[in-house]
Structure 1
Amino acid sequence: MSNLQYRTVEQIFHAQATEDGAGVSLKRALGQTNDQRMDPYLMMDVFFSDNPEDYLAGFPDHPHRGFETITYMLEGNMLHEDNAGHRGELKTGGIQWMTAGKGIIHSEMPQQLDGQMRGFQIWLNLPKVEKMKPASYQNFTAEELPNISLLENGQIVLIAGSLTMDGETYSSPVQAHVTQPLIADIDLSPHGEIHIPIPAGLNALLFLFEGEIEVDDHTLQFDQTAVLTDGNMLHLKADVLGGRAMLLAGKPLNEPVVQYGPFVMNTIEEIQQAIHDYNSGQFP
């Protein structure tokens, strides 16, 4: 056990209230500024409301190029459609993994008139060699994602990657990527405590969206994002009320990032080309 290196908190971000789409109220937990990113992740938005005025306007047609979007629906129902003819519903507990690649125009619209809408959208960068590949999708229901029981300590929903817990290895159905994404919804019971192996060399962060969780010797509080130091093990412990957090880890690309709204490329010239291609009807 002497080769264990525990990850600790390196930097804290506070989620910021904002709007996106046609006026959807949300919080930005990662990507508030260019300095508040974690390679290879660009952004993480949190939407959480039982007020239809906060979400009914949805996200009408808009383009993407050069990265991937991961939508994880905790509660609610959204319809995805795009200009390549793809269509699908994202329901409670499910995910959609969209690789925008060289370009797509899509919409994400609520399929409910009331009730709670709650979930995450994560932007994951693509390496330069993959930014111009054809757009593609992976869709999985709640039943298709591994639900890892931690017994009295809680549970983990594994969205991407693999985890070995108590000698058993669990793997998400999401296909492997260059960035080696590990994404998990960690729900700890009151006083729950776990050790999660994360390969050294992957960047990692936690976003707390319920309760409180201790990360090594630091208490992570509601709506805080903690970027973690390198290491091969993560130790988490919940307080008397328990805690729930999103874990994001991935292999850094160490490439230039030039972003203009929904386009993420490596150079200004590539951004200019993306704008030209979109304006001239070349998406996809």
Structure 2
Amino acid sequence: MRLKDISPKTLPNPCFLLTRNPDHLTRRLVRERIQQALKGEVRRISLRSIDPGEIFEIIQTGDLFSSRNIYIVEDLDAVKMKQWSEMISALETQKSEDRIIFMVEDSKRIPDQARKSRNFIELKVDPEQDIVPVLRSYLQNSGFDIDRSIIDYMINIYQDDLGALEREIEKIRYYFWGEESISLERIQSVLADSPEVNAVNYSRCLLKGDKKEALIHLKKIENWEVNFQLVLGTITGFLLRNLEKNYSTASSIRKLNQLARLDFFVKSKSQLPWRHLEFFTINS
């Protein structure tokens, strides 16, 4: 399901909504859309701050002054599998006018009973329809006159890590505070050394066969001491989009296959992941 398709008819009750991304931006987009579509006040419940058994006490008490309560339950990874059966049984006693939406970021963390039910929905965030309006509005509300090329550049770099996108937007807002107009060149200069930018530049060099330049970008990424799997996700995401746009490049397919094998190897052999990626670059 796309974010724009959320409505009272498309969301079952209760609903297990798979978002995959745990970042603040994705959660914010989903909450705003749910509140807009279901026309009610949204209450957030984090299972990191309360015991799972307390959820339904909160829900059953509800807001006595509201005819409809909407609850978004987050951080399901805190729920142990043996607690799920109690939760699912308790769902059967909820009031029909109330809405309960569980935000799922890892489908393996919920039981098959929930995952295989019609109440389980995978949500897809579309960069063009969901992210672009938010970025444009946020920067314009901060007093910046921005060109579409800036938004395209940032989405191309950060769409595989929306958490990083949100952090970089804050950096831009702080860095250019008080200025009315920002050029793409200045944005690129500010973000030039970020891990995500270097991961994309690394990918471009990889496709061109420029191993020397690719290794330079790889070293810059490594110096940031970032999560290796996130870097690999950015590289893989860029190669996939390149493949979708060009419908051809056998080099993209070959690199993706090699990266998939590398990813599997790194997960099974946790030592020295950066050395593995260097070796992959030299021998690809």
TM superposition score normalised by structure 1: 0.24
Higher helix proportion:
2
| Rg comparison, structure with higher value | 2
Higher strand proportion:
1
